C-alpha cells in the first residue's frame, strides 16, 4: 500500500521554482530518504506533505487522502497518525521536556496521569535522554538533547508515519548510530513508515530502504541505494563517491 | 469497536484474553474494565495476547505494568503470545522502561520554594542596579565621543515612537481637554465663575494632564514595543551574536531608544498641551459662551509661562523611565516565548506606575520650592 504519493508537484516561491514536476511514492513500512544538496527543497517538500505549506501544482496523497482537497475532520485524523521532527527541534519553549512529550497524550487521550508519566519516561529513555533531565526546559539543554527530546515528542502517540528532518545532524556519532538502530527497531516492531531527510551518509546506508534525490528542481533518482552508482548526476557522484569507506 | 478484553475465571486461574488494538487510545478503556475484578480466589493469571491485532508501545507499557502489579500482589502471571511483533514490542518496553521506584523525584520543600522566590527577587534588584550602572557608563562613553552616536537609529526611533504617535496623542489629549472642561463647566456655572475655566484648564493641562497622559500613551505604545523587540532578539540569540562581533548592545540598542524618546516626548507633550487646550476652548465656547478672544487674553493674563515649562521639563524624565524600563524588561526575557508576554505586561504596568510616582515627586518638589 502506498502511504504517500506525490504526483507532478510544482512549488514556486514568488518566481523562484523549487520543485518542477516531481513525483514519488512511499510505501507502507518503508524507511524513505529525501536527499539532495542544501536548498534543493527537501524541507519544503516535507512541509508540503504535512500540510504546512501550499504547493502550486500537482497533488499529494497522504494515508489515502488528497491533502489539497481535504476537509478539517480528515485533516485532524491524519494529523493524529503522524509524528513530525523539525530540523531545529521546535520544542515548546515554555514547557519542560517532560511536558513537551506529555502534551499530545494529555490533549488526545483520557489516560491517567500516572500512565502518561509512565509513557513519557519510557519515551525519554527510548531516545537516549536521561530521566533526570526530564524537568529541564528547552533553553537549558544542548542541541543534541533537543533533537532527542523532539524525537520523543514525535513518537509520543506511537504514530504510524514519522517525518524526520535531519534527525542525526547535531548528534554525536554514538547517539547517531543509536538513533539508526532505534528507528530500525521501531519500524520492525511497530511497522512504522518513516520519511527522512538526511545528510548523514552512515545513516543513509544503514537505515534507508529507498531514496529520492532532488537536484535542480527535479527528482534525479528514485530507488534503492545499491543501484545508485550508475546514475549520472553531479551531486550523486560526489556525494556517494566515498561509499567504499563506509560500507 | 472491538472488544478489547474478555475475562474468564476457571478454578484458581484467571484468563485475560486481550484482543483488537491495544493502543494509547484504548488502554484507558482496558484499565477501567480491569478495575473491579474479584481476585480473591485466584492464584494464577494468564495474559492471552494471541488475538491482539496491533500493540503500540503505550499498550505494551500498560501490559508490562499490569503484569508487574499482579506479580507484586504475589500472583503467578503467565503470558501466552506467539506473535513475534508483539513479543518484540513487549521486550522493547521491558528494556527501556524506567522503574517507577528508581525514578528521581526531586522533593521540593516549601522552604526551598520560598528561598528560590526570595533569591529571584534579590537577583532582580541586583540585575536592575547592574543595568543602571552599565547604562550610565555607556552614556558617559557615548557622550565622550560624538562620532559613535548612532544618529540613524535615533532618527528611526524618533519616527517610530514619536512621529507615528502624534495622531493618537493628539486625539487623546483633545478628548481629555474636552471632558475636563465639560465636567468643570457644570460646576463653574453654578457659581457664575465661568471665566475661571481658563485658569483651571491652563493649570491642570499644562502642568499635569498633558505630560502624564502623553507618557502613559507612549508607555503603552513604545515601552511594550521595546520589550517585545529586545526580548525576541534575546531569544533568537541576536544579542549574543552582537556581543561576539564586538557590538555593544547598550550603545546599539539601548541608547538610541532612550535618547530618541527623551527628545521626542517633550515635543509630544507640547502638542498635547495645544490639543488639550483646544478641546477645552471648544467646550468653553459652546457651553459657557466664552469667545476665543476672551479665552486667549485671559490665558495670557493668568497662566504664567512657568507652568508650561514645568510640564515640558518632566517629559524627558518620563521618557527615560519608560525607555529604560521597557529595555530592561526586554533584557531579562528568558529563553522562552511565554516570558516575552509576561515581561511586556510588566514593562507597561511598571513604566506607567513609575511615571505616576515620578510625577508625584515632581509635584512635591516644585510646590515646596514655590514654582
Ligand atoms: N518561505 C520561503 N520563501 C521563499 N523561498 C523559500 C521559502 N522557504 C524556502 N525557500 C527556498 O526554497 C528552497 C528550498 O528550501 P528548503 O528549506 O526546502 O531546503 P532544504 O533542501 O531543506 O535545504 P537544507 O538541506 O539546507 O535544509 C531554498 O532555496 C529556499 O531559499
Ligand atoms: Mg532543510
Q: Which helix (H) or strand (E) holds B37?
A: none
Domain residues for the domain of B140 are 1-144
Same domain? For B180 and B327 the reply is yes
Tell if the CB–CB gap between A118 and B61 is shorter than 8 Å.
Answer: yes
Same domain? For B105 and B171 the reply is no
The tens digit of pLDDT for each residue in A76-104 reads 888 888 888 888 878 887 788 998 899 88
Check residue B163 and report its DSSP letter: G
8 Å CB contact between B222 and B323 = yes
The angle at the Cα of B147, spanning B142 to B150, to the nearest 5 degrees, equals 70
Length of chain A measured in residues: 247
- How does DSSP assign B97-116, residue by residue? ---TTTS------HHHHHHH
CB contacts < 8 Å between A and B, how many? 82
Q: What would the grid cell of residue B75 be?
A: 500472583
Same domain? For B184 and B290 the reply is yes
Query: What residues flank ligand 1, with Cβ below 6 Å?
Result: A 13, 18, 36, 38-44, 87
Same domain? For B133 and B189 the reply is no
Same domain? For B121 and B215 the reply is no
Q: Give the pLDDT confidence score for residue B269 in this predicted structure.
A: 96
Same domain? For B101 and B42 the reply is yes
The residue among B111, B144, B177 that closes a domain is: B144
Same domain? For B207 and B314 the reply is yes
Question: Average pLDDT, stretch B191-198?
Answer: 87
The residue among B128, B144, B160 that closes a domain is: B144
Is the pTM higher than 0.80? no
Same domain? For B218 and B337 the reply is yes
Same domain? For B63 and B193 the reply is no
The residue among B127, B144, B161 that closes a domain is: B144
Same domain? For B99 and B240 the reply is no
Nearest CA to ligand 1 atom 1: A13
Beta bridge partners of A66: A61
Q: What is the number of the ligand 1 atom nearest to the C-alpha of A36?
A: 21
- Whichever domain contains B132, its CATH number is 3.30.750.24
pLDDT band at B99 (very low <50, low <70, confident <90, very high): low
CA A17 to ligand 1 centroid distance, Å: 11
Task: Quote the minimal CA–CA distance from B96 to chain A in Å.
Answer: 6
8 Å CB contact between B326 and B351 = yes
Which H, E and C letters describe chain A, residue by residue? CEEEEEEEEEEEECCEEEEEEEEEEEECCCEEEEECCCCCCHHHHHHHHCCCCCCCEEEEEECCEECCCCCHHHHHHHHCCEEEEECCECCCCCCCHHHHHHHHHHHHCCCCHHHHHHHHHHHHHHCCCCHHHCCCCHHHCCHHHHHHHHHHHHHCCCCCEEEEECCCCCCCHHHHHHHHHHHHHHHHHHCCEEEEECCCHHHHHHHCCEEEEEECCEEEEEECHHHHHHCCCHHHHHHCCCHHHHC
CA B101, chain centre distance (Å)? 39
The span from the CA of A96 to the CA of A86, in Å, is 18
What integer best gives the mean pLDDT of chain B? 86
Examine the pLDDT at B361 and tell me if it is beyond 90: yes
The C-alpha R_g of chain A, in whole angstroms, comes to 18
Q: Which fold has domain A1-81+162-167+193-247?
A: Rossmann fold (3.40.50)
Q: Give the number of domains in chain B.
A: 2
Indicate the burial class of B197 (C-beta count within 10 angstroms; 0-12, 13-18, 19 or more): buried
The tens digit of pLDDT for each residue in B7-62 reads 888 878 888 888 888 888 888 888 888 887 777 778 888 888 888 888 888 888 88
Least-confidence region, from A227-241, B127-141, B161-175? A227-241
Same domain? For B129 and B224 the reply is no
8 Å CB contact between B279 and B173 = yes
Phi, psi (rounded to 5 degrees) for A90: 55, 40
Same domain? For B295 and B327 the reply is yes
The span from the CA of B362 to the CA of A119, in Å, is 61
Domain ranges of chain A: 1-81+162-167+193-247
pLDDT band at A247 (very low <50, low <70, confident <90, very high): very low
Amino acid at each position: 500500500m502506498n502511504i504517500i504519493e506525490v504526483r507532478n508537484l510544482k512549488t514556486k516561491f514568488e518566481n523562484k521554482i523549487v520543485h518542477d514536476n516531481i513525483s514519488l511514492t512511499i510505501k507502507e513500512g518503508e524507511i524513505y530518504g529525501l536527499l539532495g544538496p542544501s536548498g534543493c527543497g527537501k524541507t519544503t517538500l516535507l512541509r508540503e506533505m504535512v500540510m504546512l505549506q501550499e504547493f502550486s501544482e500537482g497533488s499529494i496523497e497522504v494515508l489515502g487522502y488528497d491533502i489539497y482537497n481535504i476537509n478539517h475532520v480528515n485533516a485532524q485524523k491524519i494529523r493524529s497518525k503522524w509524528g513530525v521532527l523539525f530540523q531545529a527541534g521546535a520544542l515548546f519553549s515554555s514547557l519542560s521536556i517532560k511536558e513537551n512529550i506529555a502534551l499530545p497524550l494529555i490533549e488526545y487521550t483520557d489516560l491517567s496521569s500516572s500512565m502518561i508519566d509512565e509513557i513519557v519516561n519510557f519515551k525519554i529513555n527510548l531516545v537516549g535522554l536521561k530521566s533526570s533531565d526530564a524537568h529541564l526546559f528547552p533553553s537549558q539543554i544542548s542541541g543534541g538533547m533537543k533533537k532527542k527530546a523532539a524525537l520523543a515528542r514525535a513518537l509520543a502517540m506511537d504514530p504510524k508515519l514519522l517525518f524526520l528532518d535531519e534527525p542525526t545532524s547535531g548528534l554525536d556519532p554514538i547517539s547517531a548510530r543509536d538513533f539508526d538502530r532505534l528507528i530500525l527497531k521501531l519500524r520492525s516492531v511497530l511497522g512504522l513508515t518513516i520519511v527522512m531527510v538526511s545528510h548523514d551518509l552512515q545513516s543513509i546506508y544503514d537505515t534507508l530502504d529507498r531514496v529520492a534525490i532532488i537536484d535542480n528542481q527535479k527528482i534525479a533518482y528514485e530507488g534503492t541505494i545499491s543501484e545508485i552508482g550508475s546514475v549520472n548526476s553531479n551531486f550523486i557522484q560526489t556525494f556517494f563517491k566515498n561509499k567504499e569507506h563506509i560500507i | 469497536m472491538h472488544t478489547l478484553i474478555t475475562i474468564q475465571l476457571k478454578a484458581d486461574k484467571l484468563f485475560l484474553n486481550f484482543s483488537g488494538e491495544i493502543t494509547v487510545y484504548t488502554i484507558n478503556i482496558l484499565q477501567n474494565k480491569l478495575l473491579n475484578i474479584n481476585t480473591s480466589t485466584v492464584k494464577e493469571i494468564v495474559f492471552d495476547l494471541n488475538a491482539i491485532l496491533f500493540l503500540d508501545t503505550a499498550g505494551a507499557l500498560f501490559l508490562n505494568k499490569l503484569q508487574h502489579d499482579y506479580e507484586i500482589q504475589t500472583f503467578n502471571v503467565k503470558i501466552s503470545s506467539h506473535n513475534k511483533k508483539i513479543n518484540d514490542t513487549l521486550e522493547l518496553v521491558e528494556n527501556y522502561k524506567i522503574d517507577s521506584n528508581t525514578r528521581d523525584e526531586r522533593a521540593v520543600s516549601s522552604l526551598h520554594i520560598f528561598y528560590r522566590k526570595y533569591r529571584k527577587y534579590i537577583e532582580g534588584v541586583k540585575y536592575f542596579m547592574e543595568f543602571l550602572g552599565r547604562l550610565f557608563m555607556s552614556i558617559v562613553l557615548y557622550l565622550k565621543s560624538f562620532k559613535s552616536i548612532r544618529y540613524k537609529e535615533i532618527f528611526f526611533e524618533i519616527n517610530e515612537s514619536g512621529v507615528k504617535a502624534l495622531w493618537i496623542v493628539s486625539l487623546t489629549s483633545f478628548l481629555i481637554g474636552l471632558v475636563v472642561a465639560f465636567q468643570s463647566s457644570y460646576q463653574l456655572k453654578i457659581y457664575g465663575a465661568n471665566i475661571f475655566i481658563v485658569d483651571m484648564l491652563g493649570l491642570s493641562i499644562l502642568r499635569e494632564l498633558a505630560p502624564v497622559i502623553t507618557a502613559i500613551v507612549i508607555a503603552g505604545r513604545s515601552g511594550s514595543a521595546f520589550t517585545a523587540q529586545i526580548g525576541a532578539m534575546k531569544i533568537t540569540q541576536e544579542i549574543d551574536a552582537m556581543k561576539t562581533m564586538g557590538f555593544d548592545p547598550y550603545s546599539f540598542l539601548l541608547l538610541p531608544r532612550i535618547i530618541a524618546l527623551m527628545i521626542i516626548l517633550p515635543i509630544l507633550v507640547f502638542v498635547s498641551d495645544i490639543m488639550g487646550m483646544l478641546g477645552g476652548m471648544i467646550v468653553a465656547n459652546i457651553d459657557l459662551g466664552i469667545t476665543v478672544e476672551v479665552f486667549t487674553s485671559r490665558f495670557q493674563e493668568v497662566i504664567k509661562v512657568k507652568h508650561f515649562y514645568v510640564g515640558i521639563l518632566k517629559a524627558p524624565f518620563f521618557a527615560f523611565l519608560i525607555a529604560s524600563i521597557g529595555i530592561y524588561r526586554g533584557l531579562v526575557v528568558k529563553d522562552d516565548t511565554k516570558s516575552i508576554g509576561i515581561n511586556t505586561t510588566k514593562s507597561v504596568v511598571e513604566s506607567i506606575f513609575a511615571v505616576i510616582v515620578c510625577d508625584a515627586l515632581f509635584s512635591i518638589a516644585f510646590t515646596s520650592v514655590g514654582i
